[in-house]
Amino acid sequence: MKTIDELIQDGVEGKRVFVRADLNVPLDGTTITDDGRIRAVVPTVSALAEAGAKVIVASHLGRPKGAPDPKFSLAPAATRLGELLGKNVSFATDTVGDSAKATVAALANGEVTLLENLRFNAGETSKDDAERGAFADALAGLADLYVGDGFGAVHRKHASVFDLPARLPHAAGYLIATEVGVLKKLTDQVRRPYAVVLGGAKVSDKLGVIDHLLEKADRILIGGGMAYTFLKAKGYEVGISLLQEDQIPAVQGYLRRAEERGVEFVLPVDVLVAAEFPDLKTKAPAHPETVAADAIPADQEGLDIGPETRKLYASKLADAATVFWNGPMGVFEHPDYAEGTKAVAQALLDSPAFTVVGGGDSAAAVRLLGFDEETGRGFDHISTGGGASLEYLEGKTLPGLAALED
């Protein structure tokens, strides 16, 4: 895989360099609520601009239906990227149309532009190779070189991720190089004990990674909504908690395999419950009750791990040499159910381990709760791609990484 430094060394001055970034940031209207993914691509864009390239940044945002939709416009990202770069970033109001062509043609050496949301064109996500290829051809017409730096999208076989690199000389940006280097430390170069913390809503989203990690990890800690399927698999009453009944046989199989292989599976011993889901807009007090994990009332819903579980999980992370965490422990967006996620974050910070936060809601949670990687409090790495990280750890081939291989 060619590096961006090698690309720059070969000479990029005056050349149009297409940077596939991941600027899929959360928005409240037109206000960016977490700019972590924009900050992550700044080193790559800065290096290319400083080397005299004409930089064309492109990304997706949300899930528009292959047509323009104002609520998914990348215009706010162009403004924020310009602030972070300390220079104006022009904005094309389409992807391969008149605005994109004119905006790119107007670039001087060292200048940067951002194209409108790639998913406004149906060819970006099409399953039809010809339709996807036609869009990639149009994008290739805007550029001379390609740099892949959108790690959060590399598990997608999309035109700008998979097809476009085949049409242009290509290299991996700094972010992708960093992400892949970190993931190798979780797969090929693991220091032990290796602990994995998995949370989030659905156990079905994590089955593949659990299956793979049973061959790699020393202990696996489970929290979030997915924990209640595990508790049900052990025969516990889970009330009206989030539950995937159809996954119980698979979960029971994983618990048996873990016992056979000597992998420690750690489940909640107590949880916070309430009769209804909290109001995440008003953040009105929810007044949860703490109950044992095997004593959830039939009319109550589990919404966070309890205080004894927080202590237990901290103790299981204290002596780890490597920790991977993906998924919050509860409904962290509400202050009454944020303590479990906070406790795991703090345990990682207190641990001497190599610590990786695996993107998605976990990354959003640590920033929302005040654990930002730039404060110096320090996780070793906060990934920009939750889904991509999980698929890499499952041992899958990621289309966007395969496309960057020479």
Cβ neighbours of 236 (radius 10 Å): 16
Q: What are phi and psi of 133, to 5 degrees?
A: -65, -35
Whether 322 contacts 190, CB under 8 Å: yes
> 43 in helix, strand or coil?
helix
Would you call the peptide bond into 26 cis, given omega within 30 degrees of 0 as the criterion? no
Catalytic residue among 302, 358, 387, 400: 387
Catalytic residue among 202, 257, 311, 396: 202
**Residues near 129 by beta carbon (within 8 Å), at least 6 away in sequence:** none
Whether 127 is a known active-site residue: answer no
Torsion of CA 187, 157, 10, 23, to 10 degrees: -90
Torsion of CA 253, 255, 260, 264, to 10 degrees: 160
Q: Smallest Cα–Cα separation from 206: which of 341, 390, 383?
A: 390
Structure-token pair, residue 324: 């991977």
Q: Residue 210, CB half-sphere, CA atoms under 13 Å: how many?
A: 27
Whether 387 is a known active-site residue: answer yes
Q: Measured between alpha carbons, how far is 206 from 327 in angstroms, rounded to an integer?
A: 10
Catalytic residue among 15, 16, 20, 37: 37
Catalytic residue among 360, 385, 386, 400: 360
Whether 360 is a known active-site residue: answer yes
Whether 65 is a known active-site residue: answer no
Q: Which residues are catalytic?
A: 37, 202, 360, 387
